[in-house]
Structure 1
Amino acid sequence: VLRQAALAEPTVQFRTGVGVDGLTSSAPGRIDGAALHTGERVEGDVVIASTGRRGDVPGWLDAHGIAVPETVRESGLMYLTRWYRLPPTRDFDLAKLGGDLQFVKYLAVPGDGHTLSVTLAIRPDDKDLRNALSAAAGFEAACRALPGPDQFFTGEPLEPIGDVRPMTGLLNRVRRFSDDNGEPTVLGFHAIGDAHTCTNPLYGRGCSLAMVQAVLLADATAANPGDPHRRAVDYEAACKREVEPWFDVSVQMDKAGADPTGFVADGGAGNRMAALFVAAATDPIIGRGLARFWNLLATPADMMTDGELLNRMAEVMANPDAYPVPEREGPSRTQLLATLEAA
């Protein structure tokens, strides 16, 4: 949808099949274009990198003497994903189905064109599980054993689309394009999305935060025509305010085991935190508050200014036993490994 809207703009030009080798600069600390694989140089008043989490933005800028400090926190997870084609004779008008057994997190998502993606998230150092799930037979056996994905694997076999695909590097990272005083370290260049700030993709915030940053950059550009310094100051300040809190949230959620009920492990403060998520299913005040949080409509700082929400959360946390965490459904790690070995 977004691509079609951009293509409809008479002043927008798309260049496909052409890679970028680096950036060009005509003055220290200023970027004014991109160097393509073809040897061509494309000049611009503003250069925007939306190159994802694996794009080499620091390397490109380092070539021009511009350092890009990073804060990195590992998520402790890796993905194993396989795509399937669903039979056209079966109605799979189902919501995404997933769960969290601590040793494995999983999600099955029906898509367009009768397709299905299944992703299993495990610790990279769990070699036994990683080896077993990397095999096609083991992966499908897990899909049949896990509550949720199993609904798609009853009846006739599904047609695989490709092999089991691993994805590592699921880190949380913030890159700094300004110094401690808010002064920009580079002019004429901006990064958005994962090229600027990335969070554990398990939480599904990447595309939304990229759109937020695109709007923030558009606002800073409109407010400061012809002033790259002020534009950079305003944009980075807005990112620090609107985007970076979600980096902090992601790191904290990773520490809790990604599943909010993972907080229950310590039986103290964690138990009280887990009770909030249980209460959210039936309590309208907490439910609405957490819905705003999950959908990026309210930062943790915003939630702290909601007196009604804070009061209700305090009541629940004072009596967590009234909101017991449901038992996890699904096999234990030992049981799942036995199932995979027999596949």
Structure 2
Amino acid sequence: MTELPSSRAVVLGGGLAGTLAAAALAPFVREVLILEHDAALPHTPSPRSRLPQAAHAHMLWAGGADAMEELLPGITDDWLAAGAHRIPIPNGMVSFSAAGWFRRSWADTHYLIGASRNLIDWAVRERVLRLPNVSVQTGTKVCGLEGDAAHVLGVAVRDAQGERRLIAADLVVDATGRNSKSHQWLRDIGGPQVRETVVDAGVRYASRKYWAPEGARTDWPVIHIPADPRQGRPGIVATIISIENGQWHVSLSGTRGGEPSSENDLFEEFARRARHPLVAELLARAEPAGEVSVFTRTANSRRHFEQAPLPDGFIALGDAATSLNPVYGHGMSAAALGAVALRNQARRTSVLSPGFAAKTQRAIARPAAAAWMLAVGQDRFYPGAIGRKPTPVDRLAARYVHRLNRAAIGNALIVRKLTDVMAMRRPALILANPAVLLAAALGPRKPLLAGPELTPHEREVLDHPPLRSPQSAPAEPAT
């Protein structure tokens, strides 16, 4: 057995990014200690008080799921055994793009995992905490970094009794999420100023779980009605994804000026304001399984740690570095791919070697930057969006993406390439190769669809009598 170096990695945060970071580092260090603010972490797929976004529908795309499987072989089987769904793509998605309805008759090339965020996190956490050199210390508040501009030596913490002490570390990984304070902690020890970019479309989420109707609890497609940022009005998105326990997780969202309400009675009304009423029609045939939950911290925020002269011994991962508008479903995948980048760098170079952190931070930034471009490439166009306004280059790129979406309605090559990028398996640069450019120029090889391409079984569910009478949506956005 290979002797591990006498090094300790301390991971800040016991959420998904933190546990994946622990999995990435465990083969290469003597000890991984996870510091978690919560007094306890659930031993079942249960909510966490400090993870409000878990109440909303999550898409774990193939690229992210593949990355987690690479770090934790067998994790996909754990999800499926607990009731998650492996949904084939494109056949298992009904999506109304800005250019029209996508066909579903192409060969499946990708997939996504349909499950609650609680289940996804729980299965990962259970696997990671079984690793012999990984431990977690709960009820611990991190107060700052210890060290100087050249090297981070550990973290200062307060325990549940309020006692302050130092925990020494050879490597500190910040995985504390959107609320990360590490950019300030670095300044406190004489470190660099970290530049931050924010693009905020003012998205508000409203989500609710429903019991799937009879016949729709297995082999049910994702229903996704995205917004069209070219319309010059608030963007409304409606999504249904099958999760465990025979439930649908339904998320509705609206950008600034078109936000959904937190009222239960207005949830389905708001769904009818999407570009097509398919989601609302399906919800009228399903029974609610809970109350509406709302979430508003959805700005795209990128802290450019990779561009700063960071001290050795410090890395930021996941939302602590790049947090994304959840509507595109890339946050978990970006964190997982960042953890794989961390693992790969630790495989090549000792975590104790000078420059390890800086090289790793640049590697982590690459998949995060790809997800960032997908998100802000649309969010900048919504009315009232905060951040840099679209440039002529942005507008040209947006027109090209629309052209690709239109071609994808009748071209299998474009479908595969777009899904490669959306699933975070390939970089967006593949959309500029000659074959894709030519296909985009030629346009779709088949006519536009008049409506969603549903199977006879799916139409049968939609033909069930509604349980509630449809109501017209309010003339003005509910707030």
Give the TM interval when normalised to the shorter protein: 0.7 to 0.9
Inter-partner Cα distance in structure 2 for 1:144 and 1:176 = 39
Aligned residues: 312
TM-score by length of 2: 0.57
Inter-partner Cα distance in structure 2 for 1:48 and 1:134 = 36
1:158 maps to 2:285: no
Which structure's relative contact order is higher, taking Cα pairs within 8 Å and 6+ residues apart? 2
Given that residues 199 and 380 in structure 2 are in contact (C-alpha distance below 8 angstroms), is that contact kept between their aligned partners in structure 1? no
| Residue in structure 1 matched with residue 172 of structure 2 by the alignment | 47
Q: How does 1:257-336 map to 2 (within 5 A)?
A: 273-304=401-432, 306-316=433-443, 335-336=472-473
| Residue in structure 2 matched with residue 115 of structure 1 by the alignment | 247
Instruction: Give the superposition deviation at 1:110.
Output: 2.7
Given that residues 174 and 317 in structure 2 are in contact (C-alpha distance below 8 angstroms), is that contact kept between their aligned partners in structure 1? yes
More helix by share: 1
Given that residues 209 and 288 in structure 2 are in contact (C-alpha distance below 8 angstroms), is that contact kept between their aligned partners in structure 1? no
Given that residues 108 and 149 in structure 1 are in contact (C-alpha distance below 8 angstroms), is that contact kept between their aligned partners in structure 2? no
State the Cα RMSD in Å.
3.4
| Residue in structure 2 matched with residue 7 of structure 1 by the alignment | 129
Inter-partner Cα distance in structure 1 for 2:263 and 2:295 = 15
Given that residues 409 and 448 in structure 2 are in contact (C-alpha distance below 8 angstroms), is that contact kept between their aligned partners in structure 1? no
Inter-partner Cα distance in structure 1 for 2:396 and 2:186 = 47
1:176 maps to 2:304: yes
Instruction: Give the superposition deviation at 1:8.
Output: 2.2
In structure 2, the CA distance between the partners of 1:272 and 1:295, relative to structure 1 (3 Å rule), is closer
Among candidates 275, 278, 282, match of residue 147 of structure 1: 278
SS at match of 1:186: coil
SS at match of 2:134: coil
1:27 maps to 2:148: yes
Q: Deviations over 1:252-302 (max 9, x none)?
A: 122356xxxxxxxxx999666434213213312111111111111222223
Given that residues 128 and 134 in structure 2 are in contact (C-alpha distance below 8 angstroms), is that contact kept between their aligned partners in structure 1? yes
Instruction: Give the superposition deviation at 1:73.
Output: 1.4
SS at match of 2:225: strand
In structure 2, the CA distance between the partners of 1:87 and 1:73, relative to structure 1 (3 Å rule), is closer
Unmatched 5+ residue regions in structure 2? 1-122, 229-233, 383-394, 453-470
In structure 2, the CA distance between the partners of 1:230 and 1:302, relative to structure 1 (3 Å rule), is farther
Inter-partner Cα distance in structure 1 for 2:343 and 2:318 = 14
1:337 maps to 2:471: no
Instruction: Give the superposition deviation at 1:195.
Output: 0.8
Inter-partner Cα distance in structure 2 for 1:270 and 1:226 = 41
Q: Deviations over 1:168-217 (max 9, x none)?
A: 121222212244xxx63222111111111122211111111101111111
SS at match of 2:311: coil
| Residue in structure 2 matched with residue 264 of structure 1 by the alignment | none
Instruction: Give the superposition deviation at 1:236.
Output: 2.8
Specify the code of the residue in structure 1 equivalent to 2:297. G
Unmatched 5+ residue regions in structure 1? 258-266, 329-333
Instruction: Give the superposition deviation at 1:231.
Output: 0.9
Instruction: Give the percent of matched residue pairs that are identical in Structure 1 and Structure 2.
Output: 22
Inter-partner Cα distance in structure 1 for 2:295 and 2:186 = 26
TM-score by length of 1: 0.78
Inter-partner Cα distance in structure 1 for 2:182 and 2:316 = 8
In structure 2, the CA distance between the partners of 1:270 and 1:90, relative to structure 1 (3 Å rule), is closer
Given that residues 278 and 325 in structure 1 are in contact (C-alpha distance below 8 angstroms), is that contact kept between their aligned partners in structure 2? no
| Residue in structure 2 matched with residue 95 of structure 1 by the alignment | 221
Given that residues 118 and 149 in structure 1 are in contact (C-alpha distance below 8 angstroms), is that contact kept between their aligned partners in structure 2? no
Instruction: Give the superposition deviation at 1:339.
Output: 11
Q: Deviations over 1:314-333 (max 9, x none)?
A: 322xxx898668689xxxxx
